[in-house]
Amino acid sequence: MDFRWGVWTSWVAELPVERALEELYSGGFRYLELSVEHFNEILARSGELGYLDETESFKSRALALAGLGAVDVNSLPPVELIHAHGPFKPFNLQSFDEAEKSIETVKEWIRWCSKLGVKVLVCHPFTVKGAEWRSLENLNVSSFRRLGKAAEEHGVVLAVENMGRGYASLASHLLRIVEEAPSTAVCVDTGHANLEAYRGSVERLITELGSTIAATHLSDNDGSGDQHVFPGKGTIDWRRVLEAFKEVRYGKPLNLEIPGESKAFPDPAQRVKYLVESINALTRSILA
């Protein structure tokens, strides 16, 4: 099986976005997901402070880099940003009353995707503390209808990510959103799938979603928690997972999201080298 591989730019999150892309490009990566940290940074450096992801660590990082000035997109290394990760906070609501403000924030991230040439924005499903399943479904369908229209206007696709448990953990939940909302697809998160809904059979999620998949977050775990480790270090059967991607004809690069590995390598260059070696080893083991 022949696959192209990418990684989200948070793999070198301590670097400003220009240096992060250069480090990954120098290591051989041509396909990247723009992480929340670096997307937030781009917004802050462009003066768009009103639309930052309010997650404390992301916001403080972005504000600390705001003085570097606007990012010159034309001077970035020739990588392909296959997708970007949307903000976290706007999808994690304390009450339904917060939805309107969140939708406006996500619309701005959609607009910036268009400016950056990013065709897919990964979004979490909307959650509300203590809300029942049916209310969450109604909220997500109605919200993604509106967001999908904005995405369609800007030539962007929204990829809704499967969750580990509860609402949005099953393919049927995500397919309902895709059916109802324009310019909307799915992001497969293998680590989330292995927590409960598809534990031991992650490939089934891929098969059930089929052609609706527009983005990927690949990581492994032992099923007890979202450990975000490299494929092969948990209980997921990667041969079956990769075969499933091939069967549904998913043609985009497979994107790694493995923060559980990053602390082992304080030096960014060594971290990138480790990732290349790990991908090569995984590929050899699958082909063996």
For every residue of 218-275, DSSP letters joined together read B-B--SSS---BPTTSSS--HHHHHHHHHHTT--SPEEE--HHHHTT--SHHHHHHHH
The count of domains in the chain is 1
DSSP 164: S
Average pLDDT, the chain: 96
pLDDT at residue 161, as a whole number: 98
The per-residue pLDDT for 285 is: 87
| Averaged pLDDT, 96-104 | 96
pLDDT value, residue 263: 83
**pLDDT band of 40, cuts 50, 70, 90:** very high
Which stretches within the chain are classed as H helix?
17-26, 36-45, 56-65, 99-116, 133-153, 171-180, 190-193, 202-209, 238-247, 259-262, 268-287
- Which residues is 188 bridged to in the sheet? 216
Does the reported pTM lie above 0.95? yes
Instruction: Give the whole-angstrom CA distance, residue 15 versus residue 11.
Output: 10
Contact 84, 47 (CB under 8 A): no
Distances (CA, A) of 265 to 190, 231, 268: 23, 17, 7
* Average pLDDT of the segment spanning 245-267: 94
User: If 0-12 CB within 10 Å is exposed, 13-18 middle and 19+ buried, where does residue 234 land?
Assistant: buried
Question: Per-residue pLDDT tens for 144-195?
Answer: 999 999 999 999 999 999 999 999 999 999 999 999 999 999 999 999 999 9
Sign of CA dihedral 221, 227, 231, 233: negative
263 CB-near residues (< 8 Å, 6+ apart): none
Is a pLDDT exceeding 80 seen at residue 217? yes
Judged against a pLDDT cut of 90, whether residue 98 lies above it is answered with yes
Residue range 77-92: mean pLDDT, rounded = 97
- Given a cut of 70, is residue 218 above it in pLDDT? yes
pLDDT at 205: 98
More confident residue, 231 or 287: 231
What pLDDT shows up at residue 288? 65
Query: What's residue 264's pLDDT?
Result: 85
pLDDT exceeds 90 at position 91: yes
Q: How far apart are CA 81 and CA 2, in angstroms?
A: 20
d(CA 177, CA 63): 34
> What's the number of CA atoms in the CB half-sphere (13 Å) around residue 100?
1
Mean per-residue pLDDT for 24-49?
Answer: 97
What's the domain range around 47?
A: 5-287
Q: Say yes or no to pLDDT of 262 above 90.
A: no
Q: What percent of the chain has pLDDT over 70?
A: 99
Given a contact cutoff of 8 angstroms between Cβ atoms, the answer to whether 282 and 232 are in contact is: yes
Q: Specify the residue for token string 């959103």.
A: 177
pLDDT at 114 over 90: yes
Instruction: Measure CA 74 to chain center.
Output: 24
Q: 191: domain CATH number?
A: 3.20.20.150
Average pLDDT over residues 57-62: 97
Paired strand residues for 5: 254
The pLDDT > 90 percentage for the chain reads: 94
Residue 89 has what pLDDT? Answer: 96
> How sure is the predictor about 27, in pLDDT bands with cuts at 50, 70 and 90?
very high
| Residues 155, 183, 149: CA angle, nearest 5 degrees | 80
- Does residue 229 or residue 264 have the better pLDDT? 229
